[in-house]
Amino acid sequence: MLKTIIAKEFLSNIIDLRFIVGFVLCIIVTIACIMILAHDYKQEMKDYNARINLEDEILDNYAPAALDRLLGMVSTQEPPERFRPLIIGIQGNENVGSFDDNPLPILFPPLDFLFIVTIIMSLLAMLFSHDAIAGERQNGTLRLVISNSISRTTILFGKFIGGIASLIIPFILALLAGVLYISVNPAIQWDGSAWTELALLTAASITFITLFYLLGLMVSTFSRYSSTSILNCLFLWVLLILVIPNVCTYISAQLCRIPSIKETERKQDEIKYPALKVARKHMKEAAKRFKLRYGGLFSEFESMEFGGIGTWFFLDREAASTHQKAAQQRAEEDPEFKVMMDAFRQEFEMAMKEFRRTLKEAGFDKLGRDLGRKSVVQTNLAKNLACISPFANFVYIARDLTGTGLRSLDYFEQTKDEYGDQFQSYAEEKISDARKKNPALDKEYYLDVSDRPRFAFKEEPLKGKLGEVLPYWGILVLFNVVFFVSAFAGFMRYDVR
Amino acid sequence: MLKSIIRKEILNNLLSYKFSIIIILSTILILVSIFVMYRDYCLAMENHDILRKESGDSIQIIPPTPLGIFTKGLDENLCRSFEIDRKGIGISNKKQKSVNDLFKLFTAPDLLYVIKVILSLCAMLFAFDIICGEKETGTLRQTLSNRLKRPILIIGKWTGGFTSFILPFFIAVLLGTTYVTLSPMVDMNTQDCAKLGLFLLSGVIYLAVFFSLGLLISCLTHRSSTSLFISLFVWAILVFLIPNLGNILARQLVEIPTVQHLELKRRRNWIKGNFELTELERRRDRIKGDSELRKVDDSRRREIIIIRRMMAEIDKLNEDYRNRFNRLVKVSQNITRFSPAAAFTFLATDIMGTGMAEERRLKRAVLQHRNILIDWNPKEHRDEKSKQPVFNYQRSSVKEILGQGGLSNFLILILFNILFFTGAYVAFLRYDVR
């Protein structure tokens, strides 16, 4: 009997106007969207390659022998996300923080697979299911069906399976057409892990669509008329998709206030500068004492910029490496000079210790830690609040799974830092080698860095991503269960007359 | 007779379940939106006050507008602090952006969003069964069997239906606006009030477009379920599909490098120029003796030439990028204007001073100020500290906004209204009421 009901539900749906319109909409929008985004991906790749070449050109020709300047020249280029033909990733701050950035996406978020699933498919799902029970009651057919020897459980299951099948089929067909385009496009090279991620994304999308179908079914079992049912469905849809996720982030910002980064920095400066002033005073007095005690020897030491001992701290400038070398050499030659230099170093260390103690007592580090902690609390609060809406859960799953979300931004930053460390060691070694060969090497000397390590971005392993998305997926499944149980309870008590 | 129809339509709507649910939803949303965005404005003001204290000769910043409470648009972009130096204009975004990255995932729930997305849907839900619903219940046949002209009936239905929909919206907006204007943090002048009035007027016209569209669909269908389905389908296309797709489509038509690419090109030119300058300096250091002083002078002249060339190359890159970008915006605007939602977004954000036109204007002003700062020689003005150029920026006035193209978006909305209502009128004249 279940089979018959499923077949009946499926057939009645596919000859309905809703199915035809939904099918056409799904196919056209999905294919058009994937084709346009694939072309966009190709352009992004072209731009990325051009950026790599430019960076190579800069480093090959103008790599200076100064470490800070050389490190400042290396900008790690982020390749376009491999899921770009399906989902447009979130831009990192460095991309949106430029004077010449494009603000249009702020006014109109771009159209992608996420939009198709969250807006079009969820709306279609509710339109398919809102009258599954109430509509049949209005037509009088529900009473006829129930009058036969068929349990309500079978009817509900049949309606659910038949309805969801007629909804999922156009979605899968549209996605398959899009995927076919991706697989034959030479510009897009997906490996096994990308295809696995796509399969998981499809499964998550089906969970999300089913959830809205069940929500519509549940509302239908609590409504007497399909007109009331559709209004309630749309009311819930607006709340779950358009209101809750957008409002939650702002509510969390009000509930959990964070001082701005600039304000924190100012407070830190208010602690740092007086402490620095005290330390400098201490060092200046020490210098006076040393001058009286050592006379000409200390003047010589002073002309060597104190051999670089705390010069940035003491004089607010950096001593050249030549000064450091000269002072070191002088100390090796003259034991009295060495004693003076060591004593001066001790004075500096004492001032430094006092400086650090003042900072610690005034809570300098605590301010920074507080900002970090509060921002994590606010983000988590917003994230958890938004989980009331299935939309937010699906967005987290889809974005984190495909490497187009906040997690991928963090991951990129992490790999960038790792590369930064790697490049720094390389640069230090390179500069020191060059110095060995040419002791007179100055900062304006240019190095050959053609053998430098290159940045190659590797996608985060699927295991890590799965660990992040599974709780949200669990919430989606839970929503499904709750809505189905509610629909079941509603239908058991439904008056079919 | 027209009066009776309008009265009947209003009363009919007031007593319907649809009215209660839509009114509850829209009132809650409008009030929550205004309250949430007001708090957001207070945070933005606090942030601005902190950043302003640091702004000086080379750092420019403008305060957030209180109108951003209703239409946030690009206000966050506009209120960034611009740091000017010889290389270009930088933005210290890391110090002013929110540390909560979740804002990147979701849209700001301002009044513009509520009107554009949610109230437009409500307008269609109000109108989708005006004609076909009455046909289904059989009342349309009875009404038309009297000496009642079809034009009067459809005008009466439109007026009554739209009035019953828009009045509660006005009450909710009025409550929210009163709350905002009475709060001490918000300082709204006459210009701002005029802008708010114009925004609300354009909001009403925009909602009328969707109401007329719902009426048109109702006149073209014979079952309210079909009408509802088509209405939702058209709503999704007009509100989401066209504006969001238009943006990507424009990028296919106008080739434009990414900002990172541009930045890298500028850096390459800067480094190349510096390299040449260093080489020049080295050569100069090698020149010794009075007899070769002329060579030193030549070298200094070359230094100036290199710096000028470097700056000219960077300016050319910027200009090329900005020309392409302006073309991209134009193409994108032209594509998306097929949707009333996009026309309304452009109009509303431009009116409230948080739109593309204001962004372009501000960037132009910052660039002009940069040129002034570069040309300004502190040595020449040693005794005139007070005359040091100060960045002064005023957002566009209502007159400027309407002149800059705001009027065209306004006209597009009116055109959509006329088109849909005329369509509904014609369809209703031919409608089979049996």
A448 close contact with B: CB closer than 8 A:
no
- Record: contact A109-B244, CB cut-off 8 A: yes
B344 falls in which pLDDT band (50, 70, 90)? very high
A252 and A265 in a single domain? The answer is no
Q: Is residue B95's pLDDT more than 50?
A: no
Measured CA to CA, the distance from residue B344 to residue B207 in angstroms comes to 10
Average pLDDT of the segment spanning A8-18: 85
Residues of B in contact with A127 (CB under 8 A): 229, 232
* Residue B57: strand pairing partners: none
A297 and A254 in a single domain? The answer is no
Domain count, chain A: 2
A168 and A244 in a single domain? The answer is yes
* Residue A447: strand pairing partners: A63
Residue A354 lies in a domain: yes
CB atoms within 10 A of CB A224: 13
| C-alpha gyration radius of chain B | 29
Mean pLDDT of chain A: 85
Q: What is the pLDDT of residue B220?
A: 93
> In 3D, which of B230, B164, B116 has the Cα closest to residue B16?
B164
Q: Is residue A92's pLDDT more than 60?
A: no
- Record: contact A108-B259, CB cut-off 8 A: no
Residues of A in contact with B245 (CB under 8 A): 32-33, 36, 111
Measured CA to CA, the distance from residue A283 to residue A262 in angstroms comes to 30
Closest residue in B to A407 (Cα–Cα): B101
A178 and A48 in a single domain? The answer is yes
H or E stretch covering A447 = strand A446-447
Residue A148 lies in a domain: yes
Domain ranges of chain B: 2-249+339-377+388-429, 259-326
A238 close contact with B: CB closer than 8 A:
yes
**CA-CA-CA-CA torsion sign (A403, A405, A409, A410):** negative
Residues B389-421: pLDDT tens digits?
Answer: 777 888 888 888 877 777 888 999 999 999 999
Looking at residue B294, its amino acid is R
A243 and A272 in a single domain? The answer is no
Buried b (16+ CB within 10 A) or exposed e, B99-126: bbbbbbbbbbbbbbbbbbbbbbbbbbbb
Residues B199-244: pLDDT tens digits?
Answer: 999 999 999 999 999 999 999 998 888 898 889 889 888 988 888 8
Q: Which of A234-243, B64-73, B269-278 has the lowest mean pLDDT?
A: B269-278
B29 close contact with A: CB closer than 8 A:
yes
A7 and A163 Cβ atoms separated by less than 8 Å = no
A274 and A251 in a single domain? The answer is no
State which of A374, A403, A421 marks the end of a domain. A374
Chain B 283-342, CB below 8 Å of chain A: which residues? 318, 321-322, 325, 328-329, 332, 336, 342
Measured CA to CA, the distance from residue A58 to residue B272 in angstroms comes to 8
Q: What is the pLDDT of residue A94?
A: 46
Residues A226-261: pLDDT tens digits?
Answer: 888 988 898 898 889 888 888 887 788 778 877 766
Residue A104 lies in a domain: no
- Which residue in this structure is represented by tokens 């959830």? A211
H or E stretch covering A307 = none
* Residue B91: strand pairing partners: B82
A105 close contact with B: CB closer than 8 A:
yes
Highest mean pLDDT (candidates A111-120, A319-328, B86-95): A111-120
A246 and A382 Cβ atoms separated by less than 8 Å = no
- Cα dist. A257→A372, B72, B286 in Å? 12, 20, 61
- Record: contact B94-A97, CB cut-off 8 A: yes
Coil vs helix vs strand at B117: helix
Residues of A in contact with B229 (CB under 8 A): 17-18, 21, 127
State which of A374, A406, A421 marks the end of a domain. A374
Q: Both ends of chain A: CA-CA distance in Å? A: 22
Residue A497 lies in a domain: no
A120 and A248 in a single domain? The answer is yes
Residues B118-175: pLDDT tens digits?
Answer: 899 889 988 988 899 888 888 888 888 888 888 899 999 999 999 998 988 888 888 8
B247 close contact with A: CB closer than 8 A:
yes
Closest residue in B to A50 (Cα–Cα): B261
Q: What is the pLDDT of residue B97?
A: 46
- Distance to chain B for A12, nearest Cα, Å: 15
> In 3D, which of A375, A92, A247, A255 has the Cα closest to residue B107?
A247
Q: Is residue B1's pLDDT more than 60?
A: yes
A254 and A271 in a single domain? The answer is no
Measured CA to CA, the distance from residue A76 to residue B260 in angstroms comes to 11
One DSSP character per residue, A56-82 reads HHHHHHHEES-HHHHHHH--PPPPPPT
Instruction: Please give the residue range of the domain that contains residue A38.
Output: 2-97+109-258+389-492
Residues A273-308: pLDDT tens digits?
Answer: 888 888 888 888 888 888 888 888 888 888 877 777
Sheet holding B89-91, edge to edge: B59-60, B82-84, B89-91
Residues A455-475: pLDDT tens digits?
Answer: 888 888 888 889 889 999 999
CB atoms within 10 A of CB A178: 23
Q: What is the pLDDT of residue B30?
A: 86
A50 falls in which pLDDT band (50, 70, 90)? confident
- Record: contact B236-A119, CB cut-off 8 A: yes
Residue A382 lies in a domain: no
Measured CA to CA, the distance from residue A187 to residue A177 in angstroms comes to 17
Q: What is the pLDDT of residue B386?
A: 53
Q: What is the pLDDT of residue B216?
A: 95
What are all long-range contacts of A407-414, with beta carbons under 8 Å and residues at least 24 apart?
A407/A460, A407/A465, A407/A468, A408/A81, A408/A89, A408/A460, A409/A90, A409/A92, A409/B101, A411/A460, A412/A78, A412/A92, A412/A457, A413/A92
Closest residue in A to B265 (Cα–Cα): A54
ipTM over 0.90: no
Coil vs helix vs strand at B396: coil
B280 and B302 Cβ atoms separated by less than 8 Å = yes
Residue A38 lies in a domain: yes
Residue A379 lies in a domain: no
Measured CA to CA, the distance from residue A140 to residue A138 in angstroms comes to 5
Closest residue in A to B126 (Cα–Cα): A231
B85 versus A289: which is more confidently predicted?
A: A289
A230 and A284 in a single domain? The answer is no
Residues A78-91: pLDDT tens digits?
Answer: 888 889 889 988 76
State which of A374, A398, A427 marks the end of a domain. A374
Residue B90's φ and ψ, nearest 5 degrees, are -110, 165
pTM of the model: 0.79
